[in-house]
A and B are shown apart, each in its own frame.
Chain A
Amino acid sequence: MHDQNKLWRIALYGVLLYAAVYYLLPLYVMVTTSVKSMDEIRAGNLIALPMSITFDAWTKAWATACTGVDCNGLSGYFWNSVKMVIPAVLISTSLGALNGYVLSKWRFKGSELTFALILFGVFIPFQVVLLPMAQTLGWFGLARSVAGLIFVHVVFGIASTTLFFRNYYVGIPDELIKAARLDGAGFWRIFFKVVLPMSTPIVMVVLIWQFTQIWNDFLFGVVFSSGDSQPITVGLNNLANTSTSVKEYNVDMAAAIIAALPTIVVYVLAGKYFVRGLTAGAVKG
């Protein structure tokens, strides 16, 4: 009995170890390749540890790699993404919180229908709206600008942020709102003083969700921006597709890590809230 148990343990850990290696291996290859020199890459084997560590590929990917005709690396794209992602995340999250608050605590005639229609936005494939959105951005004078990208991401983000917040707020007892109304608080005071302070877990979930979605978006970036407004995903694509005499794997790897780093950092810093927030609705406050 005891031995059998032990055997099970070994098998279990074996499977877990295998799964961990399986998922970590690409990351390992990316990191090690990015700090190898091209000579070593050509000579050595894919999973060998680097013989000497050099960050030349990183500086090149950041500052001098060619992305088409320009050879200024990813830095410009990176800052474009930062300029796009911060306002887009903040605006879509704020609007989602407000929508969720209204749709759960200040129901009006047709509020359920409104919610259903907003929810529809979650299921619309992005490709369907590319042309109408391009037209709309043109009318607004926002075509090919970071502001235009922010607008698109906010509009598309509202559906999911509203869904998240609304479902979280449904779990907040209505009596709390009634109590605040009797205490004399109005719409905004209840929102800011009572509801929002209770929202930390869901705010974290939505921030991470939106940040990841918007930072990783390629389709909107490649369609609705050009030149100096393009986000990092487009930059990475350009960098990897710009053909020079040799394929610089170390630069490509460094560039890919640079592009992925912010989402990893955000998840590491706030990830515990993410798991907690997703299950928070089930727990009484």
Chain B
Amino acid sequence: MGALAIKNVTKRFGDTHILKGIDIHIDAGQFLILVGPSGCGKSTLMNIIAGLEAPTSGEVQIGERVVNDVAPKDRDIAMVFQSYALYPTMNVRQNIAFGMETRGVPRKEQEETITRVSKMLQIDHLLDRKPGQLSGGQRQRVAMGRALARNPTLFLFDEPLSNLDAKLRVEMRTEIKQLHHRLKTTIVYVTHDQIEAMTLGDRIAVMKDGVIQQFGSPEEIYERPANLFVAGFIGSPSMNFIDCHLAEQGGDVGISLQSEGGVRFVPLLDGRRFADRLGQKVILGVRPEQIEVAEEGEPALECKVHLTEPTGPDTMIFTQINGKEVIARVHPRAAGRPGDSMRLKLDVRKVVLFDPQTEARLN
């Protein structure tokens, strides 16, 4: 069953096009992430789903119902805001109860809901406190509690973790994921953080300049990015982009890589597909972990280590290929020291190619 369908939605303020034809369909129970840099239109899209803003054209469907003309309160949604938006003069209990009171839920049922929700989020000892007396993490929980009390068909989260410190952010991220597993309610989640996007989402919509660049599962987006922007936006450290030319050698189509230690021809899998582009410029996209340390005797590229960044489990090696700085993620024990030379190879099964003009993926 479809839980949310956004059909060719546009939004314009005067001559400024915020959204240029957005199409998204997700099924009930899915966790949809809207991710992109600031100004990409993700928050506007969220507000349109919530009914806080009206689209210039297009259609929003929640469940089986077109909700373009339905007031926010009647859309059966609940929202968690970046600033939490707790009512400062009410205590936690009143904050959670406010929506139910407005809807005329009987007092007994209100009490039950408050008990259930506050237990679930472990805020039952805070019910009589005002938001000002709570820590950031506790406020976050109360904001979620207020949304849970609604028991909606659709949850909207608008950058809910960006006001928390790093440690708490990771903890709350896990909690939100657990909550989703337990409740199985459809969630739309806006973030600019690609790690949140990857860890939480069932479906990710990567947005830029009011256009969805790619819509797919986290794996698809990570492994097969639709274009240079998506490839560079998702993943940390970013994917390496290496300018090279398609060439033919011994019947194989491949690319030639030049490091400070030598030149190597790397045949591409399925390279014959690019036979018509021989001699043309392409951009090779390779993630840091797809550059590996070559075994003894294996063909490899001699690379000079410029800098190392140990992160603990991995060490980032900064080197140079085809005149571009390239980062390789290797095991700490295999990492050379700055000034050393390392024998590196590409995992050709996973590398991607982009057209330098259109920036779209080629393979």
Partner of A173, one of B50, B83, B89, B102: B83
Residue contact A182 to B83, C-beta cutoff 8 Å: no
Q: Are B99 and A183 in contact (CB under 8 A)?
A: yes
- Which residue numbers of A lie inside 8 Å of B, CB to CB? 173, 175-176, 178-185, 189, 193-194, 197-198, 285
- B79 at the A interface (CB under 8 A): yes
Give the docked Cα–Cα distance between A173 and B85 (Å). 8
**Residues B102 and A178 in contact, CB atoms below 8 Å apart:** no
For B78, B87, B99, which residue has the most chain A Cβ atoms within 10 angstroms? Answer: B87
19 pairs from A and B in contact (CB 8 Å cutoff): A173-B83, A173-B85, A175-B81, A175-B83, A175-B85, A176-B87, A178-B85, A179-B85, A179-B87, A181-B73, A182-B50, A182-B52, A182-B72, A182-B78, A183-B73, A184-B73, A193-B87, A193-B98, A194-B87
Known: A183-B73, A184-B73, A285-B132. A178 touches B81 (CB 8 A): yes
**A179-B79, A181-B52, A181-B73 given as contacts; is B88 within 8 A of A285 (CB)?**
yes
Can you name the residue of chain A whose Cβ is closest to the Cβ of B73?
A: A184
A189 CB contacts on chain B under 8 angstroms: 102
A178 — nearest CB in chain B belongs to which residue? B52
Chain A residue at smallest Cβ distance from B97: A183
Question: How many residues of chain B are within 8 Å of chain A by beta carbon?
Answer: 23
CB-CB under 8 A from A181, the residues of chain B are 52, 72-73
> Which DSSP category, helix, strand, loop or mixed, fits chain B's interface?
mixed
- Given that A185-B98, A185-B102, A189-B102 are contacting pairs, would A180 and B87 also be in contact in the complex, using a CB cutoff of 8 Å? yes
Interface class of chain A by DSSP: helix
Report yes or no: B99 in contact with A184, Cβ–Cβ below 8 A: yes
A173 to B83 alpha-carbon distance, docked (Å): 9
Name the B residues within 8 Å of A175 (CB-CB): 81-83, 85
Q: Are A182 and B77 in contact (CB under 8 A)?
A: yes
Q: What are the residues of chain A within 8 A of B108 when measuring CB–CB?
A: none
**In the docked arrangement, what's the CA distance between A184 and B74, Å?**
8
Nearest CB on B from A182, distance (A): 5
- B52 nearest CB neighbor, chain A only: A178
Using known A-B contacts A179-B79, A182-B78, determine if residue A198 contacts B99 with beta carbons closer than 8 Å: no
Query: Which chain A residues lie closer than 8 Å to B99 at the CB level?
Result: 182-184
**Chain A residue at minimum C-beta to C-beta distance from B50:** A182
Instruction: Choose one: A182, A185, A197; the contact of B89 (CB below 8 Å).
Output: A197
B79 proximity list for chain A (CB < 8 A): 178-179, 182
Residues of A within 8 A of B103 (CB): 184
Interfacial chain B residues near A193, Cβ < 8 Å: 87, 98
Whole-angstrom CA separation of A181 from B81 in the bound complex: 13
Task: Encode contact with A along B322-356: 1 for CB under 8 Å, 0 otherwise.
Answer: 00000000000000000000000000000000000
Residues of B96-117 whose CB lies within 8 A of A: 98-99, 102-103
Instruction: Kindly list chain A residues whose C-beta atoms are within 8 Å of the C-beta of B98.
Output: 180, 183, 185, 193
Q: Which residues of A contact B78 (CB under 8 A)?
A: 182
Tell me the complex Cα distance, A149–B146, Å.
48
Which 10 pairs, one residue from A and one from B, show the smallest C-beta to C-beta distance?
A: A183-B99, A184-B73, A197-B89, A179-B85, A184-B102, A175-B85, A175-B81, A285-B88, A176-B85, A182-B72
A109 to chain B minimum Cβ distance, whole angstroms, is: 13
Per the bound structure, the CA–CA distance linking A285 and B89 in Å amounts to: 9
Closest residue of B by beta carbon distance from A194: B87
Are A179's CB and B132's CB within 8 A? Answer: no
In the complex, A130 Cα to B82 Cα: how many Å?
Answer: 51
How far is it, in angstroms, between the C-alpha of A224 and the C-alpha of B98 when the chains are bound? 48
Distance in Å: Cβ of A185 to nearest Cβ of chain B: 5
Bound together, the chains give a CA A194 to CA B94 distance in angstroms of: 11
Residues of B within 8 A of A182 (CB): 50, 52, 72-73, 77-79, 99
Q: A281 → chain B, closest Cβ, in Å?
A: 14
New A-B contacts (20) at CB < 8 Å, excluding given A178-B79, A182-B99, A198-B89: A175-B81, A175-B82, A176-B87, A178-B72, A179-B81, A179-B85, A179-B86, A179-B146, A180-B87, A181-B73, A182-B52, A182-B73, A182-B78, A182-B79, A183-B98, A183-B99, A184-B99, A185-B73, A194-B87, A197-B89
When C-beta atoms are compared, the residue in chain B nearest to A177 turns out to be B85
Considering the chains assembled together, what is the distance between the CA atoms of A109 and B97 in angstroms? 34
Instruction: Tell me the smallest distance from the CB of B293 to a CB of chain A, in Å.
Output: 49
Question: Which residues from 26 to 57 on chain B have a C-beta closer than 8 Å to any C-beta of chain A?
Answer: 47, 50, 52
Separation of A176 and B88 alpha carbons in the complex (Å): 9
- Tell me the complex Cα distance, A197–B95, Å: 13
Complex contacts, B102 vs chain A, CB 8 Å = 183-185, 189
